[in-house]
A and B are shown apart, each in its own frame.
Chain A
């Protein structure tokens, strides 16, 4: 085995070592300037400065880094300590399992875009114009999404035809787009680079059409489609140029068939189709929170209480000419009974609609009742303009909306005057919030855990090596306006393109592997995994290579040691500990994202701490298994410190909570075994909290 030493340009005067016959020592002055060649199948020990720096120069090899500079020289610990650290690392490497290279071939050079709204159209256009075929899967019969239902965009009020139609025309210039309308993805299988989609397409009912509208004259069914009245057979002038039948309201009376024979098939059936792609973009857009659940606001109980969309469509189509309108912001948002978070755009959706109605009917009284007005950036100017138009803003949260003698009443306190108002209105518009598209994302095994914005890609931010081939664009990520959505869509498109132009995704990041012989399929790992990365396939536990983040939580949970993290197996950790510690030492198992970095900081801040502290870097505080702690205690360490990220800040979502849960049980066990509870400590140490780390180890040494 090679042991590569660096003197850090002479800073570290390393003594002569003798680690045995099978160890080949190599000395360098500046590993950061010049690195020796290391073959991909070698296991080595590299001793120099902090691995946080060293890892840059030795990517993609199986190496155990020993931190001599920050952990010995810069903190003035005795030079003899370097021997202990290096020999322990050698023993660890002897038993370590090398990290396999994971390959994800990019087979199907085409992309799937789920959603045909503004985000989907733009993403598809950017991808298709580079010659890559795109499949668009749209839930409704027409392109355009929410924007096509609106008369105007916010906040200036430009009509949607300025945006959606040119985008669609530009999209259609490409011939390599495959559309599925009235379609939804029912199943996703495969891996990044090679996905297979099962698509269910519901019937449209209209085969050929020249948009003459004769069917509209005879259709007897009227539907209130979110504020606009239409028939069961209808048309949205985007794409395709075919009417569509809403089979949920159609009574199959055949009236349309009679005036348009041969072009309408009321008996059309649903079909299941398949598509393949190397990457997917989820662009399913705005998902409205059902504001019926906010019982006190009377939505659907009293006439005249509407959502933004319904209000705008009613005003634009001329079916509503209110004299007194009240807008209620935060209806069901920032509320522990409904949506706890703020959906960002609903404030200026309210402002937009307020401007819409005031522009059209200047005599109309408009009141906006809001707890806060989140009009960031240029929207503040917009907010000012509306006040100058005579729109009244009341700071408060209405307690109730009801009907009395034919008028809608909004009851609210005005925080500025301390008075209680009952505001009469003909129309009340509720600013409802939005929810993430759990349904679609789940199909890709993406666990949201109540997180919104959907930054699941963020969980990979700390490690760009991880294979990603699913992206979100536009309001699927978080409710956004059209301008933001278009930019987001382009970014998603470029993410897809950079993937498609490669042959394969290749990574060497450590993941957990399952030994089927030891596994009893108890499934504890499945619930422990924060990433939904563990499944049962063919009656065996399978850890998905594309989703596993290498946190080690399943490995430390597995009672049979069947799941083990590459390079960080229990056996190698035991070996590392055995050779690292001496009686009277303090063993510090520190998480690599935060606590470990605090020890480097301690060196840079020139803090003194006792030399009997021996540090092992672990992937996560949740990856530490109690048996290792007890092992160390049995070898007469003075104490064991487990350092992790602060609650709610764990790099792996909830690893540190696991550690905390184990701590309670461990302390009871320690008590039974006769150890003092204070001998094991679980502490949250931030990456800059060098002083906190030093204080803790000094305390443990007393």
Chain B
């Protein structure tokens, strides 16, 4: 049994509970125990553009909480992974550490911060995941969207190939589904600029949705709720702006994996996906 502290962030526990549901369901299948972090807050990412140091302090506080629990952190969102990892690196600097301590926080043990998907790749491994698949999703071909902060900047993570990443594709292929290769795989979803210039954000989202459409993808696989806001919640807006129809469902990787493990569509919360996933379910029966 592997134990990790589960960091939920802001979006997942309030606006994307189905992602949390799917993640917990998958964890159970793999004998992973998620320990909740009481009092965990936002990771701090939203105010980084206003005051980077304060956002790092907010993140560091969360790391301190998990550190006291003696557990490594697993996150469900790319931005949370980025901010917490940044803060963890920053805690090595004396000045920052003193500021952190002066606020009354402590960091007794060094812990790791990783995205859930990375943890699956590193700690569980492709072979074990393949073995746990009960319903290979052979009929599905999907577009993998890594997001930006899963492996960039590489000096922070040192994981996967930042130019030609493959870990998420490997994890998708392990479920039996096919991960389609495509150009501009690394392109950002535009989520961070949604509040600044909606047109720009929609343009960025359109690029990848168009790729998915051209490739006749059954779904776009995301690993971050922020990215989903762009590709799923704003899909209608993108369609309206560019006069194009997509109708492409967006799945969170643990939802895809859960289906592969034989979990029911309710168990992975498919009914909460804003773009209907009927087309996928049809293909799977």
Residues of A at under 8 Å CB distance from B? 295-296, 301, 402, 404
Contact = CB atoms under 8 A, between A and B. Distances in A.
A301 B183 contact: no
A295 B161 contact: yes
Interface string B132-168: 0000000000000000000000000000011110000
Contacts of B161: 295
Contacts of A296: 163
Contacts of B162: 295
Nearest to A405: B183
Contacts of A301: 164
B183 A295 contact: no
Contacts, number: 8
A430 to B, nearest CB: 15
A301 B161 CA distance: 14
Nearest to B163: A295
A301 B183 CA distance: 13
Contacts of B183: 402, 404
A281 B164 CA distance: 43
A402 B183 CA distance: 8
A301 B166 CA distance: 14
A637 B200 CA distance: 71
Given A295-B161, A295-B163, A295-B164, 5 more contacts: A295-B162, A296-B163, A301-B164, A402-B183, A404-B183
Among B161, B162, B163, B164, which residue has the most Cβ atoms of chain A within 10 A? B163
Give the 7 A-B residue pairs with the shortest CB-CB distance, closest first.
A295-B163, A296-B163, A404-B183, A295-B164, A402-B183, A295-B161, A301-B164
A301 to B, nearest CB: 7
A466 B164 CA distance: 52
A364 B54 CA distance: 56
B261 to A, nearest CB: 34
B167 to A, nearest CB: 15
B17 to A, nearest CB: 38
A295 B163 CA distance: 6
A664 to B, nearest CB: 15
A298 to B, nearest CB: 9
Nearest to B155: A337
8 contacts: A295-B161, A295-B162, A295-B163, A295-B164, A296-B163, A301-B164, A402-B183, A404-B183
Interface of B: 161-164, 183
Nearest to A400: B163
A397 to B, nearest CB: 15
B94 to A, nearest CB: 15
A404 B181 CA distance: 12
Contacts of B164: 295, 301
A402 B164 CA distance: 11
Nearest to A295: B163
A275 to B, nearest CB: 45
A296 B162 CA distance: 9
Nearest to B161: A295
A574 B15 CA distance: 76
A650 to B, nearest CB: 28
B281 to A, nearest CB: 34
A404 B211 CA distance: 13
A57 B110 CA distance: 64
A295 B186 CA distance: 13
Contacts of A402: 183
A296 B165 CA distance: 12
A12 B60 CA distance: 71
B183 to A, nearest CB: 6
B156 to A, nearest CB: 14
Contacts of A404: 183
A295 B154 CA distance: 13
A296 B186 CA distance: 12
A331 to B, nearest CB: 14
B186 to A, nearest CB: 9
Nearest to A409: B183
B158 to A, nearest CB: 13
A392 to B, nearest CB: 25
B82 to A, nearest CB: 20
A303 to B, nearest CB: 16
Nearest to A404: B183
A471 to B, nearest CB: 40
A296 B154 CA distance: 14
B177 to A, nearest CB: 24
A421 B11 CA distance: 38
B75 to A, nearest CB: 26
Contacts of A295: 161-164
A419 to B, nearest CB: 18
A423 to B, nearest CB: 16
A301 B163 CA distance: 12
A404 B185 CA distance: 13
B187 to A, nearest CB: 11
A295 B152 CA distance: 14
A537 B164 CA distance: 48
Contacts of B163: 295-296
A302 to B, nearest CB: 11
A296 B161 CA distance: 10
A293 to B, nearest CB: 10
B191 to A, nearest CB: 22
Nearest to B164: A295
B200 to A, nearest CB: 16
B184 to A, nearest CB: 9
A295 B183 CA distance: 15
A113 B93 CA distance: 52
A404 B214 CA distance: 14
B211 to A, nearest CB: 12
A5 B161 CA distance: 72
A296 B163 CA distance: 6
Nearest to B154: A337
B276 to A, nearest CB: 32
A404 B162 CA distance: 20
B203 to A, nearest CB: 15
B178 to A, nearest CB: 21
A404 B161 CA distance: 21
A299 to B, nearest CB: 11
A357 B125 CA distance: 49
B123 to A, nearest CB: 26
B247 to A, nearest CB: 26
A541 B183 CA distance: 59
A609 B163 CA distance: 62
A290 to B, nearest CB: 15
A404 B182 CA distance: 10
A301 B164 CA distance: 10
A634 to B, nearest CB: 34
A475 B161 CA distance: 33
Nearest to A403: B183
A296 B164 CA distance: 8
Nearest to A294: B163
B160 to A, nearest CB: 11
A529 B161 CA distance: 38
B216 to A, nearest CB: 17
Nearest to B186: A400
A90 B164 CA distance: 72
A331 B183 CA distance: 22
B239 to A, nearest CB: 25
Nearest to A301: B164
A404 B163 CA distance: 16
B155 to A, nearest CB: 10
A295 B160 CA distance: 12
Nearest to B162: A295
A404 B184 CA distance: 10
